[in-house]
Amino acid sequence: MELSDIKAKIAVVGLGNAGLPLAAVIADRGIAVLGVDINDERCRLINQGTNPIPEEEGLEELIIRHGGKSFIATPRFEDARDCSSFIVIVPLFVDQSNNPDFSIMDKALLSLGRILKKGDLVVLETTFPPGTTSGRVKKLLCECSGLGEGEFFLAYSPERIMTGYSISRLREFPKVIGGTDEESGLAAYQLYRQFISNLHLVSSASVAEMIKVMEGCYRDVNIALANELYKICQDLGIDFFEAREKACHQFCHIHLPSTGVGGHCIPVYPWFLIKEMEKREMFDKCRLLHTSRILNDEMIQYWAERILLECMKINKPLCEIKICIKGITFRAGVREFYHSRNLALARLLYDKGLDVYVADPLLNNDEVAARGFESIKPEEADLVFDPFQLNFESGKAL
């Protein structure tokens, strides 16, 4: 199907790990959808019915069924000129000082503003610092489109997916939506209820933004607590996992310890609030969030020390001990490295002069080499550390 043949009223801007599954789910509800992404090759693959994210469960069948048919992808914003609803899901990263970097979002909004018409609806799904939609986003869209406030609808609905399970999360997980004004909230709710079954309208875009940031902060703080409790149990000679099993019940959920927190979400969102409070010179308002960030990032030092202690038990010079890190992605089963503490741990050990190798079932030798390491079979190493299970194995004894 050609672009001239499709009568899409919905455009999804950004066909990455969040936008592509959403566009596919919309198409699967019988709604024509146009996807806009700057990646020409990704658009080409989608239009020929090929899934560019093969690890995303359930996505391939939807792309085969709808790609190039009711779901067309294009790298050109002007192709979306006839759409009346725009859902924007493009990345928002933090810079080296942990301040939000809006450069990608600003470029997308600039392009969108040029085709925005009176009466159109724009919904943002990228996770933002609270207040971004009603502030920065609205101002930029008004400036670029020449429209005034109230001449287009503007709302926010945070993506709440999990990489690898995005399709099922979109279909089952509760989703919230809120407008910059009452009319925008209602317009966005009416749109989303066509393809989201578990939908909840909240009072404002800022509330919807805060909901998502709250979730990330909750998890980061609780993972930091789990890491602290794990270290205490180690010092006291107590089995953390046995204690955790019985400690968890309806009113208590102890998270799992880890090498730290990675990915695009949990290690990033607390900084949105920390930096906002710093701008307001309210430095005492985010002490717990800031401490949790430090504790979680410092876990690689803890595990590096544990690995060194295990090496001391091996009857070999330290520099000759082959250490295998069994996985360097940020989460098990996901081929992504953003803020990966497992990769950071491997690099920390390497920087200490240790002989570090990687065994990752998700990666081939070239992909491991691209991260600066050699691949090894676990049984060829002297010591194997599994950063997902937090256990040690004597490789050559396997």
pLDDT tens digits, residue range 350-386? 999 999 999 999 999 999 999 999 999 999 999 999 9
pLDDT at 162 over 90: no
Yes or no: say if 361 and 325 are a contact pair by the CB < 8 Å rule.
no
Size (the chain), residues: 398
Checking if the pLDDT of 154 tops 90, the result is yes
Q: State yes or no: pLDDT of 398 exceeds 80.
A: no
Considering only CA atoms, which of 331, 392, 329 is closest in space to residue 358? 329
pLDDT of residue 159: 95
pTM confidence score: 0.92
User: For 249, which DSSP code?
Assistant: B
Angle at 110 between CA 105 and CA 112, to 5 degrees: 95
**The predicted structure's pLDDT at residue 40:** 97
Distance, CA of 357 to CA of 372 (rounded, Å): 10
pLDDT for residue 2: 44
The answer on pLDDT for 330 being more than 70 is: yes
Residue 305 has pLDDT above 90, yes or no: yes
Find how far residue 370's CA is from the centre of its chain.
22
| Mean of pLDDT values over 35-51 | 98
What one-character-per-residue DSSP string does 116-143 give? --TT-EEEE-S---TTTIIIIIHHHHHH
Is the pLDDT at 164 greater than 90? The verdict is no
Q: Please state, in angstroms and rounded to a whole number, the distance separating the CA atoms of residues 346 and 325.
A: 7
Q: What is the pLDDT of residues 208-264, one digit of tens each?
A: 999 999 999 999 999 999 999 999 999 999 999 999 999 999 999 999 999 999 998
Active site annotation includes 265: yes
**pLDDT at position 397, please?**
47
> What one-letter code names the amino acid at 285?
K
Q: Find residue 22's DSSP bridge partners.
A: none
Which pLDDT belongs to residue 5? 44
pLDDT of residue 98: 95
Please state, in angstroms and rounded to a whole number, the distance separating the CA atoms of residues 10 and 12. Answer: 7
Burial of 158 (0-12, 13-18, 19+ CB in 10 A): buried
Domains and CATH numbers, the chain: 10-203 (3.40.50.720), 296-394 (3.40.50.720)
What is the rounded CA–CA span in Å between residue 155 and residue 188?
Answer: 6
Catalytic site residue from 212, 286, 311, 326:
212
Work out the average pLDDT over 383-397: 87
Q: What are the tens digits of pLDDT across the range 170-191?
A: 999 999 999 999 999 999 999 9
| pLDDT at residue 3, rounded to an integer | 42
Mean pLDDT of the chain: 95
- Give the tens place of pLDDT for each residue, 189-217: 999 999 999 999 999 999 999 999 999 99
Does position 39 have pLDDT exceeding 60, yes or no? Answer: yes
Contact 304/350 with Cβ under 8 angstroms?
no
63 phi, psi to nearest 5 deg: -70, -40
Strands of the chain, DSSP E: 10-13, 33-36, 71-74, 85-88, 93-94, 100-101, 121-124, 153-156, 175-179, 199-201, 322-325, 355-358, 383-386, 391-393
Catalytic residue among 43, 83, 142, 265: 265
For this structure, is 275 an active site residue? no
87-115 pLDDT per residue, tens: 999 999 999 999 999 999 999 999 999 99
CA-angle at 351, arms to 235 and 348, nearest 5°: 40
Q: Provide the pLDDT for residue 6.
A: 43
pLDDT at res. 147: 97
